[in-house]
Copies of this chain bind each other. A is one copy, B any other.
Amino acid sequence: MLPFSRVTIIGLGLIGSSLCRAIRDHMPTVRVTGYDADPQVRQIARAIDLADDVTDTAGASVTDADLVILCVPVRAMGAAAADIAQDLPAEAIISDVGSCKVDVLAQLNAALPGRCIIPAHPVAGTENSGPEAGFASLFHGRWCIVTPPADADPAAVERVAELWRRVGAEVERMDPPHHDLVLAVTSHLPHLIAYTIVGTASDLEDVTQSEVIKYSAGGFRDFTRIAASDPTMWRDVFLANKDAVLEMLQRFSEDLSALQRAIRWNDGDALFNLFTRTRAIRRSIIEQGQDDAKPDFGRSH
């Protein structure tokens, strides 16, 4: 028994287009409708046959949906929800894929009062953007965190969870504030740090940008991947999850200062102890199937 029969995906970027493909691959009888505010994206979506139908207005995309998933930048969720409010069937469930949940839930509640809102967040992605960057297996073996409001209908929560399991994800449930704290450290802070270091490296006077690029295999290139992620999406994440991001950033800065001091005072033991501890975390991530066991992420040599 399929959890939904008519799913609408609004926002056809990396995640939205991957979801279209994944639903059509794993649940071929589900009717998938797509919409994107950008006419050029809609045109590409039609050309590459992302959905059974790509509509020219947001309203037209939801008229017979039993599930609508918003896949737009987190600060655009409220406007995207307002755009469909008039046409949304009474029984439809609204979900999203945003990377911060407290702020998004507030936006959706404001735009769609009284509706069945079950936010979710698939912890998956690549550094590429746009409708052509998506692929059906993006969610395989990744976690999807469902963050329903406290009073959500359990049956609706289970239907959304089942959709994600069908496309290959493992599902976990969290309350929205805890989700935002966990993701601040596992995703938002890493992106912020990566963006910063790539910026720092490209602003030097004594070392040229071409030298930075040429010798990036010494470690720098690992950071450039997530620093190539979608700028609009990430601007929104940092502003929408401001408190948790600033809290994690403060802790990181303190730890970095301690390390800076250890280097300045030649405290080799402090460095060695930290560097030994961090090795164990990598091992656990690989053991739990959350990264490739092959050296160098399995890059070709």
* A interface residues, Cβ below 8 angstroms from B: 99, 123-128, 133, 135, 137-138, 140, 142-143, 145, 172, 178, 181-183, 185-204, 206-207, 209, 211-229, 231-232, 234-236, 238-239, 242, 245-246, 248-249, 251-253, 255-257, 259-260, 263-264, 266, 268, 271-272, 274-279, 281-285, 288, 290-292, 295-301
Contacts and interface: CB of A to CB of B under 8 A. Distances in A.
Contacts of A279: 227-228, 231
B217 A245 contact: no
B199 A274 contact: yes
A246 B185 CA distance: 25
A227 B277 CA distance: 9
A284 B221 CA distance: 11
Contacts of A211: 182, 186
Q: Which 9 A-B pairs have the closest CB atoms?
A: A187-B218, A231-B275, A228-B282, A126-B295, A190-B219, A297-B297, A198-B278, A227-B278, A224-B282
Contacts of A135: 301
Given A202-B277, A219-B190, A195 B259 contact: yes
A100 to B, nearest CB: 12
A233 to B, nearest CB: 9
A128 B295 contact: yes
A282 B227 CA distance: 8
A281 B213 contact: yes
B301 A300 contact: no
A135 B296 CA distance: 13
Given A187-B220, A255-B200, A274-B195, A301 B137 contact: yes
A284 B220 CA distance: 13
Nearest to A140: B301
A183 B282 contact: no
Contacts of A190: 197, 218-220, 222-223
29 contacts: A126-B296, A133-B295, A137-B301, A138-B301, A145-B215, A178-B206, A185-B201, A187-B220, A188-B219, A193-B223, A194-B222, A194-B278, A198-B281, A199-B277, A199-B278, A200-B248, A200-B251, A200-B252, A202-B281, A217-B291, A221-B285, A222-B222, A222-B225, A224-B278, A225-B282, A227-B281, A235-B272, A238-B271, A249-B260
